[in-house]
Homo-oligomer: A and B are copies of this chain.
Amino acid sequence: MDVKIKRPLNELGAAEIVEKIAVGETTCEAVVRDCAARIAMHDGVVKAWVNFDSELALAQARALDRGPRREPLHGVPIGVKDIIDTFDMPTEMGSEIYRGHRPPADAPCVALLRRAGAVILGKTATCEFAGMAPAATTNPHNAAHTPGGSSSGSAAAVADHMVPAALGTQTGGSVLRPSSYCGIFGYKPTYNSFNKAGVKPAAESIDTIGWLARSIEDIELLTAVLRMQAPRPPRRLEQAPRVGLCRTEMWDTVQPESKAAVEGAVTALGRAGATVREVKLPDAFTGLRVIARETINFYERAACMAYEWDHHRDLLSPQMRRYIENGQKTTRDNYVAGWRRVEECRALLPTVFEGLEVLLVPCVQGEAPKGLASTGDGSLQAVWTALHTPTVTLPTHRGPNNLPVGIQLVAQRYDDDRLLACAHWIWGKIGAPKMVGCHPSP
């Protein structure tokens, strides 16, 4: 006798949830119940959520079940990083300063999701103001390790199957790094793709809203909503992609597992028929990570935290105070010189990408580091954030402690659809790591 084991609804992806609800196989309420059950079971350890009110989430779900069908996300639960405004839940930004703060409106990204039928499941833990001071969140693969940051709760909640997808933001590497550490897909679109009104800025010239999810298909579906695009069949490659292997100037600092991920991906791609050639970045890119991580970030952070610095300095973390002090010492001239360098590099990208669809680059230094005091190093992600190019990480590999290690793909600005199509193709060829570990999946 065949026994069909019923998969809990919290394990479904966004597109699967939409489909099952559409055909009457389940309800919005049932999906939220399974997510809530998972949260109740695991969040004591994972600590992904800073605001989860199951009654509020169930009320949204029941309203959807009662009302007309919405498109294209009817009944999909979404987690929202807690620097993003929600009208019906506090937005506390990982800071005592905003304890209990209730914004007057949803951020547009949240409003567009609700309009499309999403359930805003709750608010996910963020580093203080999306900076460096960690949230309490732990890595669902091993609670002794950081989940990465600053979109810590979004990454952990998605990886732990508490929610199919969550909004994050990236100013350095705050979407891709936690995605890589937690073994999920992370997508940072071209700068200015998703409207970021109602999101607390870190460095507004590079802040980018992104998606953390468990499949490329879900990212494509969710992205159409934030772009205000009617859903359409996602773009797919007609032939194997041409890939540039770009080790970057940080290669010598990259740990073996991350080198192995990139080189393993190259081998797999070659075997699958993709063209891979090595790309060396022009000299202008040398040191760009310092401009991205420090000059731009410090200067803008010092500006955008002016009120908190003057009124609530004692409630800021030591990390944030140091950051702001560095920014106050960064001159306007250095900041402008930094931007000129970034723009010089950006103008070189068409040459870098000549004949290539995507670059394959290391995503992270290695596995999620042990300990919760730091969320890891953002240098490998930050360069692309400053360049405004779209990037995606795929959870293709594992490291020596059986923790996830992702690869990073980068495309030219506005070439997001092709990036996601390449990511889909590449994921199809490489897929998830085949390791038998003590903790294969959270």
Contact = CB atoms under 8 A, between A and B. Distances in A.
Given A192-B204, A204-B197, A227-B332, A101 B101 contact: no
B195 A308 contact: no
A197 B87 contact: no
A228 B398 CA distance: 45
Interface in A300-334: 300, 302-311, 328, 331-332
Contacts of A414: 336, 339-340
A112 B229 contact: no
B307 A108 contact: yes
A308 B229 contact: no
A106 interface: yes
A289 interface: no
23 contacts: A87-B311, A98-B104, A105-B308, A105-B311, A106-B307, A107-B307, A108-B303, A108-B305, A111-B307, A112-B306, A114-B310, A115-B310, A192-B339, A195-B201, A195-B204, A195-B304, A197-B200, A198-B307, A227-B332, A228-B299, A228-B302, A336-B414, A339-B414
Given A195-B204, A195-B300, A414-B339, A307 B105 contact: yes
Interface in A88-117: 98, 101, 104-108, 110-112, 114-115
Given A304-B108, A306-B115, A197 B201 contact: yes
A147 to B, nearest CB: 27
Contact of A205 (B98, B192, B300, B347): B192
Given A104-B101, A414-B336, A303 B201 contact: no
A228 B332 contact: yes
A196 interface: yes
Nearest to A312: B105
Given A200-B197, A201-B197, A229 B306 contact: no
Interface string A394-407: 00000000000000
Q: What is the interface residue range for chain A against chain B? A: 35 or more
A338 to B, nearest CB: 11
Interface string A186-226: 00000010011110110011000000000000000000000
A414 B337 CA distance: 10
Which 10 A-B residue pairs are closest in the complex by CB-CB distance?
Answer: A111-B306, A195-B303, A111-B307, A105-B307, A108-B306, A197-B304, A197-B201, A106-B307, A227-B332, A229-B332
A235 B332 CA distance: 15
Contacts of A205: 192
A183 B189 CA distance: 43
Contacts of A299: 228
A207 to B, nearest CB: 10
Nearest to A196: B204
Contacts of A110: 307
Contacts of A304: 108, 195, 197
A119 to B, nearest CB: 15
Nearest to A224: B332
A319 to B, nearest CB: 19
Given A112-B306, A192-B339, A198-B307, 9 more contacts: A87-B311, A105-B307, A106-B307, A111-B307, A114-B310, A115-B306, A228-B303, A228-B328, A339-B414
